[in-house]
Amino acid sequence: MIEKNFIGHTLSAKGERVTRGSNPVTSEVLPGDFINATDEEITDTVSKSALAFETYRTKTGREKAKFLRAIAEEIENLGEVLIERCCAESGLPLLRVKGECGRTTSQLRMFADLIEEGSWVEAVIENGDSKRSPIPKPDLRRMLVPLGPVAVFAASNFPLAFSTAGGDTASALAGGNTVIVKAHSAHPGTSALIAEAIIKAAKSTDMPDGVFSLLHGSGREVGQSLIQNPLLKAAGFTGSEKAGRILFDMASKREIPIPFFAEMGSVNPIVMLPSSLKLSNAKTLAGSITLGSGQFCTKPGLIIGIDGPDLDDFIRDLATDLSNIEPQAMLSEIICNTYNSSIEICLKRDNIKIETKDLFLKKKNFAKPVLISVIGEEFIKSPELSKEIFGPFSIVIKCKDIEQIKKILNQIDGQLTGSIFGEEEDFDDFSNIINKFERKVGRLIFNGVPTGVEVCSAMHHGGPYPASSDSRFTSVGTMAIKRFVRPVSYQDWPNHRLPEELQFDNPLKIWRMVDGNFTKD
């Protein structure tokens, strides 16, 4: 396991301070002194990344696809070493880590398929018309091109799928950008192993030195220094609203502002229509609330229903199901402490009813699933209650009528998702709720929980602020590539000097919009 920073293919350890991994389950400090990057090393890394971009941006889709597939293979080659280290650093169960590893390599291959096929560049062609009066119409051809060096801020809760070789890295590399990952300090060993795999893949597929770099250190030091580097062209981030906003502000205040996509907090409200309360949805919801110990950006943190005996029964069932679920370790001591203190603050409010038993656990870093309930009127008076609490915690809001539900949906912040549970015939009475949701969320789910984010081309994982910093982009699925590319138009350009994607005879046989119609001709 390499403990130095990866400045492209070069290892570097000029710093004095180190990051160490520890096992949140046992509190044991894990082997490896990962040397934090110095300012000098950060500068060198971005410069190298910018230089490598000059070469990498000219690689064909096929060449880049080969690189992404090689990364997936090298990650698989890491085998048990990776899985063990990741389990140890994250405290996540073996099956989850194996599943996440599979998702990571699938994502890399999905982007490989995307860029090998090639239509993602959104080629649009308008043929010229030299006879048009009063002025001739020029020949115009547009496609997407990469931005340049992209910084990726690894997430704590997805040590593989949203970290070193996760969705941000895969989409940025697929788009033709070079990548610099700021390793998450909670899983430096996992990051180092993956970085080694990426560098191996880069070498074996003849990618330029600097196409990928990994830097260790804190968000405050390394992250902030990185985001302010003038050669950096964009960044992707998954994490808390607080950290995301600090970096977003820095990205916006630069002399040359850069796109900064942050996927941040969300409480993923669920509206339980009356018909849904008698069905066996409590178990499904309990599973979603506690999945990964509730440390998912899509964890349902707000459950909204109309007050009455049916809702009371549902709450009782849900509380029982939650209480029966074995507590799991949280990702880190900080996260566990924040979870417990956030609940304590929440409970200090008036008129909060605790529905689950035994609030806190003696076992260090382990979190107890907690369900509370509150009446609609009280929730409306307490906007803080709609802030995300990261962990296996959820609030049921008992509303007096549909109007109150609408008021609550109006009041809450932007969300990654919104779910509606119920029989379809209930919709006629509740159609306004769908409208409210459409305004607030990035994904609308019918009779399903928000966890388990499908990685595909129709997925939108992003939403109005603070769910994400820019609701126009997604961080999951093939469309995540759009964050890191921009259009360029070529006007009256000689055919054989054009990128292949735009040439007259469509040598790549990609889907193109030609004079208003999609065609592969």
What letter represents residue 123's amino acid? A
* Residue 456 in contact with a second copy, rule: CB under 8 A: yes
* Residue 108 in contact with a second copy, rule: CB under 8 A: no
Instruction: Pick the binder of a second copy from 424, 429, 504, 509 (CB under 8 A).
Output: 424
Residues 6+ apart with CB under 8 A from 28: 22
Number of H helices, E strands in the chain: 13, 23
Site for a second copy in 195-214 (CB under 8 A): none
* Residue 280 in contact with a second copy, rule: CB under 8 A: no
Looking at beta carbons only, is 375 or 434 nearer to a second copy? 434
* CA gap 243, 117 in Å, rounded: 37
Instruction: Pick the binder of a second copy from 154, 460, 501, 506 (CB under 8 A).
Output: 460
Residue 172 in contact with residue 118, Cβ under 8 Å? Answer: no
Per-residue binder mask for a second copy (CB under 8 A), 111-150, x = binder: -------------xxx--------x-xx-xxx--x-xx--
Nearest approach, Cβ of 461 to a second copy (angstroms)?
A: 8
* CA gap 21, 217 in Å, rounded: 12
DSSP 3-state assignment of 68?
Answer: helix
Site for a second copy in 492-511 (CB under 8 A): 492-494, 497, 511
* Residue 472 in contact with a second copy, rule: CB under 8 A: yes
Nearest approach, Cβ of 460 to a second copy (angstroms)?
A: 4
Looking at beta carbons only, is 255 or 350 nearer to a second copy? 255
From the list 101, 297, 346, 399, the catalytic residue is 297
Closest by CA to 105, choosing from 2, 196, 172, 198, is: 198
DSSP 3-state assignment of 323?
Answer: helix
**Count of chain residues binding a second copy (CB under 8 A):** 71
What letter represents residue 415's amino acid? Q
* Residue 105 in contact with a second copy, rule: CB under 8 A: no
Residue 444 in contact with residue 420, Cβ under 8 Å? Answer: yes
Q: How far is CA 85 from CA 42, 90, 181, 191, 192, in A?
A: 26, 8, 19, 10, 10
Closest by CA to 262, choosing from 272, 249, 278, is: 249
Looking at beta carbons only, is 39 or 426 nearer to a second copy? 426
User: 314: left (phi > 0), else alpha (psi -120 to 50), else beta?
Assistant: alpha
* Residue 446 in contact with a second copy, rule: CB under 8 A: yes
* Residue 217 in contact with a second copy, rule: CB under 8 A: no
* CA gap 521, 506 in Å, rounded: 6
Nearest approach, Cβ of 20 to a second copy (angstroms)?
A: 35
* Residue 438 in contact with a second copy, rule: CB under 8 A: yes
Scanning 163-171, 196-204, 290-298, 491-499 for contacts with a second copy by CB under 8 A, the matching segment is 491-499
- Output the DSSP codes for 208-273: PTTSEEEE-S-IIIIIHHHHT-TT--EEEEES-HHHHHHHHHHHHHSSS---EEEE------EEE-
From the list 3, 89, 100, 263, the catalytic residue is 263
Looking at beta carbons only, is 309 or 494 nearer to a second copy? 494
Q: How far is CA 402 from CA 192, 373, 432, in A?
A: 52, 18, 9
* Residue 489 in contact with a second copy, rule: CB under 8 A: yes
**Is 423 among the catalytic positions?**
no
DSSP 3-state assignment of 145?
Answer: strand
Residue 395 in contact with residue 385, Cβ under 8 Å? Answer: yes
Nearest approach, Cβ of 117 to a second copy (angstroms)?
A: 8
* Residue 383 in contact with a second copy, rule: CB under 8 A: no
Give the torsion sign (CA, 188, 190, 193, 194).
negative
Q: In a 10 Å sphere around its CB, with 0-12 CB exposed, 13-18 middle and 19+ buried, how is residue 515 labelled?
A: exposed
Looking at beta carbons only, is 203 or 439 nearer to a second copy? 439
Looking at beta carbons only, is 4 or 461 nearer to a second copy? 461
Residues 6+ apart with CB under 8 A from 90: 24, 97, 159, 186, 187, 190, 331
Site for a second copy in 314-353 (CB under 8 A): none
Nearest approach, Cβ of 462 to a second copy (angstroms)?
A: 8
* Residue 448 in contact with a second copy, rule: CB under 8 A: yes
**Is 263 among the catalytic positions?**
yes
Looking at beta carbons only, is 331 or 453 nearer to a second copy? 453
Per-residue binder mask for a second copy (CB under 8 A), 19-58, x = binder: -----------------------------------x---x
Instruction: Pick the binder of a second copy from 80, 133, 384, 516 (CB under 8 A).
Output: 516
* Residue 445 in contact with a second copy, rule: CB under 8 A: yes
Instruction: Pick the binder of a second copy from 218, 252, 337, 351 (CB under 8 A).
Output: 252
Active site residues: 263, 297
